Amino acid sequence: MSLWQEFNKGIIKENPLFRLVLGTCPTLAVTTKAINGVAMGFAVIFVLLGSNIVVSLIRKVTPAKVRIPVFVVVIASFVTIVDLFMAGFFFELHKVMGIFIPLIVVNCIILARAEAFASKYSVMGSVFDALGMGVGYMLALIVVGSIRETLGNGTIFGFDLLSRLGYQNFLIMLLPPGAFVVLGLLMGLMNKLTKQTMES
């Protein structure tokens, strides 16, 4: 598989959010604004990239039996870096995201990629896998965030969009129920467009 394919598969075909249904908790929690999706996306890309590289580098010296705890410590270290970095430079965003930054540790995307990909493939492949998955996740977050922000607040990325047209804000979109419904319907739309189903 070429590097481009490694990158590409994460965007639509194996989109971590819409297709693999990984990382739903932070998605639902932070997407009240589109900009939060960008921030969360970058945080996840950084952690994913870092942990994929390190896991791929140490894959030959890690004993199979303790590999999961080793991966978790690697991931947790990168998450701590992101957490402290955001607390230092983007304090407002860090406050909005709250515990969902440290919770990137248990975001299934990261451990799933470390276990399913980086522990088996070379560093280069793992880098592109991480980038593809990360960008796919970030795009999904931005889509959900944009819809909720537009409908719930009449703005997008903070720009006034609907409210000057006399739009009545649909407040429930910013509340927890809106998150569930928007994500559910978007997932359904993705299935419709790609002609797939998620029946188990």
Partner 1 sequence: MELLTIFIGAVLVNNFVLARFLGICPFLGQSKNVSMAVGMGMSVIFVMTLASAATILIYGSVLVPLGLEYLVTVTFILVIAALVQLVDIVLQKALPALHRTMGIYLVLITTNCAILGLALLNVVKNYDFTKSLIFGLSAGIGFTLALVIMAGIRERLELADVPKPLRGFPITLVLAGLMSIAFMGFSGLVKL
Residues that bind partner 1 (CB under 8 A): 21-22, 24-26, 28-29, 69, 72-73, 76-77, 79-80, 83-84, 98-99, 102-103, 105-108, 111, 172, 175-181, 183-185, 187-189, 191-192, 197-200
Select 7 or 18, whichever has its Cβ closest to partner 1.
18
Select 168 or 197, whichever has its Cβ closest to partner 1.
197
Select 7 or 71, whichever has its Cβ closest to partner 1.
71
State in Å, rounded, how far the first CA of the chain is from the last one. Answer: 29
Closest distance to partner 1 from the beta carbon of 165 (Å)? 26
Closest distance to partner 1 from the beta carbon of 4 (Å)? 29
Q: In this structure, are residues 174 and 63 in contact, taking their beta carbons and an 8 Å threshold? A: no
Select 81 or 124, whichever has its Cβ closest to partner 1.
81
Residue among 113, 126, 181, 91 at smallest CA distance from 3: 126
Beta bridge partners, 156, equal 159
Closest distance to partner 1 from the beta carbon of 58 (Å)? 17
The amino acid occupying position 94 is H
* 106, HSE (Cβ side, Cα atoms, 13 Å): 7
Q: Torsion angle of alpha carbons 43, 125, 106, 33, nearest 10°?
A: 30
Closest distance to partner 1 from the beta carbon of 177 (Å)? 4
Cα 73–Cα 74–Cα 79 angle in degrees, nearest 5: 90
Select 168 or 200, whichever has its Cβ closest to partner 1.
200
Cα maximum dimension of the chain: 62
Closest distance to partner 1 from the beta carbon of 5 (Å)? 26
| Alpha carbon separation from 114 to 22, 74, 102, 124, 192 (Å, rounded) | 14, 10, 18, 14, 30
Select 68 or 123, whichever has its Cβ closest to partner 1.
68
Closest distance to partner 1 from the beta carbon of 153 (Å)? 18
Q: In this structure, are residues 52 and 130 in contact, taking their beta carbons and an 8 Å threshold? A: yes
